[in-house]
Structure 1
Amino acid sequence: MPAEPLAEQTLAEHIASLRQRKYEVPVIRDPDDVTDDSAANAEKKREEIRPIIRRPSSRNPEFFEVLIKPGHYLFHEGDPADHLYVVLSGSIEIRLDESDTVIATLGQGESFGEQAILYKGVRGASAFAREQALCLEITAASLTRAIEAQPLFVQKTLRAMMLQLNQRNEMRRLIREKAEFPAELSFPPETPAGSLFERITKDLTMKTVHIDSTAALRAMIERQDALIVSSGQLTVKHGKGEFLCGEGMIVGLCEAISGEHCFEQFEVTKTLNGWLINGPKLLQYFSGMNSGLFGICRGIICRTLDIEQAPNFKRDVALD
């Protein structure tokens, strides 16, 4: 009898099912190799092993499982960003090529490469496998479909989280390059961040607010609320950098959802107008979210805030 076809899975269900597996990552040879017991041929076969092997997922051919051999890169800083990845086994180092700096080490269940959903996004860092690693590769189109299956306010929030990550990465880049401060952060429509901001604000129905003082902004953050700035100006002190920000800036979002303290310092220099996001209310929805998107959200939060674990995101997504 013919095999019964597999039921079609959503992206989130597929990620969840893969995370439940216990992966053993053997050496995978080129499919054209022929087994030979001689030492000389065995050595030759080892030399012919490809450093990166992609194979269709056994549960859904839309996705790929990617094996990266030790000492090889999955992608380099500056490459086009057209995929998101989830670590299934092993670990991946996120590195800056020029300074040879490791900025994060990601293990099982952690995601990376969210820039894939940014219009014409490019990699801001390189992904390196110091040990053998297996990752799930998800196309930008698949990620977009998974996001668009959520309620509209969740879609907007997920994209705003990705925009906040993009903004933090830009701040870190300017600090590393010892830019002249204060530095202006702007997000023109033709840039990846600007394009994403336009998608967030189109048909946005969230509550609008006016914040006319630094004290009012601090009170908002202490309530674990967040702001998508539509107009106005503020100064943001992040690490050793000071930044002049306005339209498009995301204030306190990952902090509000995760329960993490906001360490940035803000000064309102011109009344802020924008959309208010209630962190605790949003967390209630996120807490019941399926494993796939929950894990992706946790990865975005941890890299945005440069933390290993988010206080409100301790669920073991590899097992649920």
Structure 2
Amino acid sequence: MTIPTTDSRAATVFPLCDGAHAAATCAAAPSIAENACLVRSNDWVNAEYKHLVLTAPDLALTARAGQFFHLACPASNDDTPYLRRPMSIYCVNAGDQRIEFLYKVQGAGTRGLAQLGPGDTLDALGPLGKGFTLPANANDAHVLLLARGVGLATMAPLASEAIATGAHVTAVLSARTPALMMSADTLHETGATVVMVTDDEQTSDVVQVERLIRGIHAGRPITFATTCGSNRLLAMLQRLAAQLGIPGEVALEQRMGCGIGACYACVRPFRKHAQSDELSYRRVCWDGPVFDLQETTSW
């Protein structure tokens, strides 16, 4: 595989193809490019997270909810990130040529991102991965979004896509404190019903969140359940969705090397199918990062 190193508003990376399935893989895989994006703003939203807004080339604007970009993070002080960092999409607005990311500043890569300012250029490889697949019968759909921490960023574009198809969306957002709660206003603006729980208010433990979701389901049956950002919430939602017969998906967070399926650094175990005790191994970057809720194992 060849990855272009020039300004790739037009340069495309050919899809990864392997073995006997090469033709089918190439036909189905999306185009990928190194996108030279212009920074519009990069502001703090609270003490830990920043909101990065970019002007992006046309190919980047085809990103869907659940997909991600592999960002070439700049050096900062004594930090010189060697590998790119995967970052899920927070917002895509093709009409405004805008993509957005919401990220926690906690390591060498994100400290570099935090120093970007208006007018700077960021190299974003993508769009990458498999995004969410919403129910076909959207008019009768009730989509649950359950997210905590940085998972809140992944859920925001899914709410927009679901509501645009006619679905009703309920978002249950979890954070340590009210000050660290993010995306609530954005989700309200898209038309989602938002419920917030926090550790400080002692409303975010798994037992209470399960009781909350059961109540939501009793009022309006949930037809599709999604989650991101918490292993405890994933395990609870898997069990609850299995009991109530609700299909769903989970967006996984994972350290990655290449982001395009070549290095196998992000391989992890999955059930071969729901309720199966037999495991298969898949690349989070290429086969995901969105997977079937019941096939995903806890970490």
TM-score (norm: length of structure 1): 0.34
TM-score (norm: length of structure 2): 0.35
Q: Which has the higher helix share?
A: 1
| Larger RCO: 1 or 2 (CA < 8 Å, sep 6+) | 1
Structure with higher Rg: it is: 1
